[in-house]
Amino acid sequence: MTDLPDHVRVAVIGSGFSGIGTAVRLAQAGEHDVVVLERAGSVGGTWRDNTYPGCACDVPSHLYSFSFAPNPDWSRAFSRQPEIRAYLERVCDDFGVRSQLHLDTELLAGTWDDAAALWRLETSRGPLTADLLVSGCGGLVEPAYPDLPGLETFAGPVFHSARWDHDVDLAGKRIAVIGTGASAIQFVPELQPEADRLVLFQRTPPWVLPRMDREYGQKQKDLFREHPALQRVARTGQYWFREWNLLAFTGKGGLRRKAEQEARKHLERQVPDPELRERLTPDYAIGCKRVLISNDYYPAVSQDNVDVVTSGIAEVRPHAVVDADGVEHEVDVIVLGTGFRVMDIPVAHRLTGREGRTLSEEWQQTGAAAHRGTTVAGFPNLFLLLGPNTALGHSSVVFMIEAQIAYVVKALEALEEYDARALEVRREAQDAYDAQLQAQLETTVWNSGGCRSWYRDEDGRNFTLWPTHTYTFKRQLSRFDAEAYALRTPARVQEPV
């Protein structure tokens, strides 16, 4: 692998959709002085790390891909993880960004040097400096491990779904699965047939809608390949259907009630046992937590070898998990489907801004916030892709990522136009943006649906979701709002001592 350069115009952290997309778009905009720092040995981000059985995307693949890299070969409407990961690998090759990729290079620390107006980066493969820093880290990075008494005393294997241990043979085993979120709902149906017993610990039941998945035949793939316009039509259709669906989350409730009805019918059809059905029925409005889609989850948990435990977990013993009712469930393996530390992403601890505070310290004071989901006061020349309030409950985050990348490109142009070295969003502008966003979120089901979710922090402030249509976000970010910023050129010489 090539050595790290001493200095680059743009350093990108991470090589998932955000990192790869940024490298491609910067190159297309004529900026080639770019490195992508990747801590792992290959690209793909969350689509590389999550290899659990059944891992797939909940957004249709034609929509969940780059606008500049359509893929006529998606095998199904909702593609599985290996295919998405291969897609990202292919984009790296097709768009020639592999030479900018530095694998096994973990960002350890980044500090803004205000006098020199650049980021000083420490990586596992040495230091470098960068004018601009783009974080492609996102929120679904670091597994969240539950704080269960006695978990460390468990004698068998314990692993998180995002760090799946493929060496553990699960056939004929008694498996405890903790959590019933988006990951668990995908791997439980895969584990159930081979497990001797599967004990599923559920804190809150998710709302589950039918998964309208289907395979694309060769004919259809050929059609997409020969007529890219047809594929764009398919993508556009998926896009607008999802924007219409947004009303279930933000609207008055009509569409929401219809969705709840559909989910209830789905549950009734698939779970005949009324007692189990009761336990699987959510007591909050649909959409408040992430809506899941599955056709095989309910049938799987209805099988005789599955127990759904809802009382909570009291402790873990060497060979068992004890529920809050005191019942001891003997198991051989524990699989954690407990999601991610969305609130506490590692990169926030590693970046230190102009005032000597880390991003994490900054956000402890203000709550996680960023202007247009991208820039943070006190952190010049830093861009957070999939930063605060850019996640979606209804559509593809790749769309959001591309809007943010366009904003980064415009910001670079603004720096050149003003012949400046640093740009920093004004706190006032960032606060005004956040206040408007929070006001908009107040009436949505995410905030008022009567649930606890990873969308909101301890204070109930929604720091993850974009409150409205994705085209609004794209329109806002299509122009660099320079008036929200200060543009700075540092002193050419530091004053003599």
Partner 1 sequence: MNKTKALGLTAAVVGGAVLVRRATAAAALPVPAPLPPPVSRDRTVRTEDGVELSVHEHGEKDSASATVVLAHGYVQSSRLWNGQVRDLVDARPDLRVVTYDHRGHGRSGRTERHRATIQQLGRDLARVVEAVAPTGPVVVGGHSMGGMTVMALAEEHPELFAERIVGAAFVGTSAGELADVTYGLPAPVAKAVKALMPRLNEAAVKAEAKGKARKVGAGDAWMTFPRGADKALVREVLDVHRDCSAETVAAFLPTFSDHDRRTALAALAHVPTVVVVGDRDVLCPLPHSRALADALPTSELTVFPGVGHMVHLERRAEVSRILLSLVDRATTGAPRSLATAPG
Query: Which residues form the interface with partner 1 (CB under 8 A)?
Result: 414, 418-420, 426-428, 431-432, 435-436, 439-440, 482-483, 485-497
Residue number with CB closer to partner 1 (153 or 448): 448
The type of residue at 334 is: I
CB 426 to partner 1: min, Å: 6
CB 484 to partner 1: min, Å: 8
CB 29 to partner 1: min, Å: 21
Rounded Cα gap, residues 294 and 271, in angstroms: 13
Backbone φ and ψ for 289, nearest 5 degrees, come out as -100, 165
Asked if residues 369 and 35 have their Cβ atoms less than 8 Å apart, the reply is no
| H/E segment holding residue 307 | strand 306-309
Residue number with CB closer to partner 1 (117 or 188): 117
Nearest one of 46, 78, 72 to 59, comparing CA atoms: 78
CB 356 to partner 1: min, Å: 12
* CB neighbourhood size of 443 (10 A): 13
β 328-330/126-135 pair status = unpaired
Sign of CA dihedral 280, 281, 282, 287: positive
Residue number with CB closer to partner 1 (6 or 483): 483
Residue number with CB closer to partner 1 (335 or 408): 408
Rounded Cα gap, residues 17 and 48, in angstroms: 11
Residue number with CB closer to partner 1 (108 or 439): 439
User: Cα separations (Å) of 46 from 23, 94, 138, 244?
Assistant: 18, 21, 9, 27
CB 417 to partner 1: min, Å: 10
Rounded Cα gap, residues 462 and 209, in angstroms: 24
Residue number with CB closer to partner 1 (27 or 414): 414
Length of the chain: 497
Residue number with CB closer to partner 1 (280 or 441): 441
CB 436 to partner 1: min, Å: 6
Query: In the block, which residue shows the tokens 């001493």?
Result: 6
CB 252 to partner 1: min, Å: 16
User: Cα separations (Å) of 72 from 232, 254, 307, 416, 484?
Assistant: 10, 36, 41, 38, 41
